[in-house]
Amino acid sequence: MTDLLKAKLSRRAVLQTAAVGAIGIDPALRAAVYAAGSDAPEKTEVKIGFIPLTDCASVVMASVLGIDKKYGVTIIPSKEASWAGVRDKLVNGELDFAHVLYGLVYGVHLGIGGPKKDMAVLATLNNNGQAITLSKKLAEKGAVDGAGLAKLMASEKREYTFAQTFPTGTHAMWLYYWMAAHGINPMKDSKVITVPPPQMVANMRVGNMDGFCVGEPWNHRAIIDGIGVTAVTTQDVWKDHPEKVLGTTGDFVKKYPNTARAVTAAILEAGRWIDAGLSNKNKMAETIADKSYVNTSVDAINQRILGRYQNGMGKTWDDPNYMKFYNDGAVNFPYLSDGMWFLTQHKRWGLLKDHPDYLGVAKQINQIDIYKQAATASKTPVPKSDMRSSKLMDGVVWDGKDPKKYADGFKVKA
């Protein structure tokens, strides 16, 4: 420890720090406290995998802005090629954490969509901000939304191909839910393929698919490139839905709990910084557009993070439910009901043969205690309940109270 930090750590300062849990104190002093006491991160340099998507922003900005250093860790963002690659590197320990699909973490924990491994969700990274894109060819035949797609598929019989990004992931579930709400059974009425997010636009360009569900900026990129239209945003499927999470393995959390807390706190603070205002969002867009991260033009990112939408067919609108990274802490809490929802859809679509212990699995994966500690350290508000209630696009309410009944209650299923 430096002499400067020793000097700052007077006995009174140490007592105050112990009393308030290192909240709201000078960053240099906080770092010294972490270094000196039992709260010190066990591992100070961590590798966090990410996929080139707008919603990797809080991971990237925690590193770029040096927020990680406040909590005694150094985040090394690691650009990955596919969600399957992220899964494998998390499982084998090449990555410490990842910006990852909520449903992927749950799938791995239960041994579907890859090897079985105890997993952990530390925080939700964002709400909203994904979309379903249909090809310009379909749009020209009237398929510009769900009803139009259903009508076209009924009248013009052929094999229709749709892409998602990972079998148990969020995009697969939004795509299936939306199709089913319009009477299309994705498992029986179409062919579904898996394509990594950055490859979606190129695959649609050469005619490999009729539609896809993916995160931004790839839906907007399809519009810029003139090859696709936005049929629906995922916030119109489920307002303020959970999306990417900060994920790791159960073993990592057990071995490095202080590191897990410190990284979570840094990313919470980065999310708050992004959501603080227009200039921060623009700076974020400029940063992550770089080839080191998302590798696209700034204009492909910065419109939709401000809620400025167009569908590629002349319609424009301002969406209040755009991608949010913090929203006064409402985004980030790892609600047990959010994790359970993905399990209900895995059961609905035949990925799970039997009903799991929905609540029990969610309690194993979602690290509520560590999150609350990180929230205290970063001054992030915490909700009163570990569950929340939401009404989805078809009017069906999900509150986590009877997951078996909910999962079995859909008319359209595998």
Distance CA 165, CA 232 (A): 17
Interatomic CA distance for residues 315 and 293, integer angstroms: 30
Residue 297 sits in a domain whose CATH number is 3.40.190.10
Determine, yes or no, domain membership for 139: no
C-alpha span between 180 and 411 (Å, rounded) = 9
CB 124 within 8 A of CB 342: no
Q: Measuring CA to CA, how many Å separate 107 from each of 91, 196, 310, 347, 386?
A: 12, 17, 34, 11, 21
Res 34: pLDDT? 46
pLDDT at position 37 is 54
pLDDT tens digit sequence for 25-80 = 444 445 444 444 578 999 999 999 999 999 999 999 999 999 999 999 999 999 99
Mean pLDDT per 10-residue section of the chain, whose length is 414 residues: 38 34 42 58 98 98 98 98 98 98 98 93 98 98 98 98 98 98 98 97 97 98 98 98 98 98 98 98 98 97 97 97 97 98 98 98 98 98 98 98 98 97
409 found inside a domain: no
Tens digit of pLDDT for each residue in 307-322?
Answer: 999 999 999 999 999 9
Domain assignment of residue 103, yes or no: yes
pLDDT tens figures, 115-138: 899 999 999 999 999 999 999 999
Distances (CA, A) of 340 to 52, 133, 394: 27, 27, 19
Per-residue confidence (pLDDT) for residue 114, from 0 to 100: 82
Q: Report the number of distinct structural domains present in the chain.
A: 1
Rounded Cα distance between 214 and 234, Å, is 10
Name the residue range of residue 380's domain.
3-127+242-307+323-334+353-384
Predicted confidence at residue 3, as pLDDT, reads 42
Rounded to whole angstroms, how far apart are CA atoms 347 and 345?
5
Residue 347 lies in a domain: no
Integer Cα distance of 44 and 174 in angstroms: 37
Whole-number pLDDT of residue 22: 34
Establish if 155 belongs to a structural domain.
no
Residue 312 lies in a domain: no
Quick: pLDDT tens for 91-113: 999 999 999 999 999 999 999 98
The pLDDT value given to residue 210: 98
264 in a structural domain:
yes
